[in-house]
């Protein structure tokens, strides 16, 4: 609890934060973090490129299945008494 308050007091001071940001370990940690984020983004883009043909085939298959199964359904649905609509609306 006391340590938390001390850290909060130190990190709320702009002068301390500026001096810490100029220190060698903090700069090294920032460089490592930026490199990890960049390599992760590149890997994700490469993986997404590899998935694109598979996802397109999946989309086409799902759309074909939906279109095929919807052929037997009456569309648009008929509206009339007992067929939906607002409650209390005149038929």
- Per-residue model confidence as pLDDT tens digits over 49-74: 878 888 888 889 999 888 887 676 66
Cβ neighbours, 10 Å, residue 65:
10
pLDDT attached to residue 25: 92
- Is 76 exposed, middle or buried, given 0-12, 13-18 or 19+ CB atoms closer than 10 A? exposed
Smallest CA-to-CA distance from 80 within 68, 91, 67, 66 is with 91
Give per-residue pLDDT as tens, 3-12.
999 888 888 8
The number of residues in the chain equals 91
pLDDT attached to residue 29: 94
Give per-residue pLDDT as tens, 21-38.
899 999 999 999 999 999
pLDDT attached to residue 86: 64
Whole-angstrom distance, CA of residue 17 vs CA of residue 25 = 13
pLDDT attached to residue 51: 80
């Amino acid at each position: 609890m006391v340590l938390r308050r001390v850290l909060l007091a130190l990190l709320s001071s702009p002068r301390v934060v500026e001096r810490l940001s100029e220190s060698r370990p903090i700069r090294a940690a920032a460089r490592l973090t930026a490199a990890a984020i960049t390599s992760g983004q590149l890997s994700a883009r490469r993986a997404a490129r590899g998935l694109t043909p598979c996802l397109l085939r999946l989309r086409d298959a799902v759309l074909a299945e939906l279109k095929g199964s919807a052929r037997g359904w009456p569309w648009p649905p008929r509206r009339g008494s007992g067929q939906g609509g607002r409650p209390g609306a005149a038929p």
